[in-house]
Amino acid sequence: MEGFVQKGEHASIRDVFSLPVIVAALGYFVDIYDLVLFSIVRVPSLKSFGLSGKELIDYGVYLLNMQMIGMLVGGILWGWLGDRKGRLKIMFASILLYSLANIANGFVSSLPAYAVLRFVAGVGLAGELGAGITLVSEVLHTRIRGYGTMLVASIGVSGAILANIVANTYEWHNAFFIGGGLGLLLLVARVRVAESGMFKAMEAKSGMSRGNMLALFTDRGRFFRYINSIMIGVPIWFVVGVLITFSPEFGVELGISGPVSAGNAVMYCYLGLVFGDLSSGLLSQLLQSRKKVILLFMLLTVGAVALYFLQGHQSPQFFYVVCAVLGFAGGYWAIFVTVAAEQFGTNLRATVATTVPNLVRGMVVPITMLFQFFRGLFGLESGALLVGAICVTAAFLSLSALEETFHKDLDYYEEFL
């Protein structure tokens, strides 16, 4: 199947449902399933190792951080390879790695092995979204590429819903087996997808510098574009990495009338994300602006976090509704990754589009460390609020510094000195 040409005169909405877009969306679906599965099975899996009480948070943070550190490493590795070897090869290799790691996770019998496999799975998980968004951005016409990335993210984040259903139906080891099996099945669907035409054209140019990660740090303007692209996504992962992952503990602290399930909190949050990504994507096409929509959803995030802490002694069902509201407000994830991809030329695009979301996910490490520190000083609730305030403030400042990219032609290269 040939890639669509960005500069073509005709762009049909039917192109949004092309094979590259559908396969990228299904890949992200499996990616999200595996990404959130640990948060869902954290408590039962750690209890099976004889842990309880405070240990469930401490070891939960440790294992989550191992996964996220793996994603940081993988983001750099796959991003570089994506610009050097192609978008499709990275999508194949990354899904194979995390699928095998999750199957191995189903056999885990010790905490050290659990930690190693979460790291390896994190490395694999890092390649899926960036390569998919890069491919979709390059094969669709400028006027409709927002619809394509919206579809990828909306279908993708619904993988969390399946993860919760599976985790509640099967024992936690089997939930990992199923995730790994889904990934291997997806590899079959990838066979018929063609490489991006822009990458092929770049590959044909002799002497073209590709995937030069250091170039992001050797030019002041390029460096700040990169850092600002990262920081606008941080509030989303503050919500997921702290408020949702540790929702059982927050439920007790907030006086919720019954026990809160982390799996249900994740499911409702990601259900909100599905509708948030759809809404933000459609709104960005309507307003023909990425920045205005990101600003609106950041403001919604501030309001949703306030609702989370001010809900009072409500039922678990009300708590889950608030989790869905948090997810909806964080539903600018697709636009955030699209903006990162649109900020840079073809010879750096996969590097940026892959490393940026994974650096944001990797920010869960300092976020949870800061949360642990502030929790010790000020308590669970105040500690989380302080961390959230830092994340949101940084995101607003970064958004103000980025250019609008809605109408930007992506068929260009970064010039390196």
Query: Residue 1's pLDDT is what?
Result: 40
With the CA atoms of 28, 32, 34 and 39 taken in that order, what torsion angle do they form, in degrees rounded to the nearest 10? 170
Query: Residue 197's pLDDT is what?
Result: 52
Q: Is residue 61 part of a domain?
A: yes
Q: Is residue 29 part of a domain?
A: yes
Q: Is residue 251 part of a domain?
A: yes
- Residue 247: closest CA among 311, 158, 177: 311
How far is CA 53 from each of CA 16, 47, 370, rounded to the nearest angstrom? 48, 9, 21
Q: How far apart are CA 251 and CA 316, in angstroms?
A: 8
Query: Residue 81's pLDDT is what?
Result: 80
Query: Residue 417's pLDDT is what?
Result: 54
Q: How far apart are CA 31 and CA 13, in angstroms?
A: 26
Query: Residue 243's pLDDT is what?
Result: 92
Q: Is residue 323 part of a domain?
A: yes
Q: Is residue 407 part of a domain?
A: no
Query: Residue 201's pLDDT is what?
Result: 59
Q: Is residue 128 part of a domain?
A: yes
Query: Residue 39's pLDDT is what?
Result: 79
By residue range, what is the domain housing residue 310? 13-193+216-401
Q: Is residue 6 part of a domain?
A: no
58: CATH: 1.20.1250.20
Q: Is residue 330 part of a domain?
A: yes
Structure tokens at 242: 């702290």
Query: Residue 210's pLDDT is what?
Result: 57
For the chain, 417 residues long, give each residue's pLDDT as a single digit of tens.
444 444 444 556 777 777 778 888 888 888 888 888 887 888 888 998 888 888 887 888 888 889 888 888 888 888 778 777 766 777 778 888 989 999 999 898 889 999 999 999 999 888 777 777 777 777 777 777 778 878 887 788 788 888 889 988 999 999 999 999 988 888 776 666 555 455 555 555 655 555 567 777 888 888 999 999 999 999 998 998 889 988 888 999 888 888 988 888 988 998 898 889 889 888 988 898 889 999 999 999 999 999 999 988 899 999 999 999 999 999 898 788 888 888 887 777 778 888 888 888 778 888 988 998 998 888 888 999 999 999 999 999 999 999 887 777 767 666 765
Query: Residue 365's pLDDT is what?
Result: 80
Domain count, the chain: 1
Query: Residue 293's pLDDT is what?
Result: 94
Over residues 223-252, the pLDDT tens digits come to 999 999 999 999 998 998 889 988 888 999
- Whether 71 contacts 92, CB under 8 Å: no
| Amino acid at site 103 | I
Query: Residue 174's pLDDT is what?
Result: 93
pTM of the model: 0.74
Query: Residue 281's pLDDT is what?
Result: 84
Query: Residue 114's pLDDT is what?
Result: 92
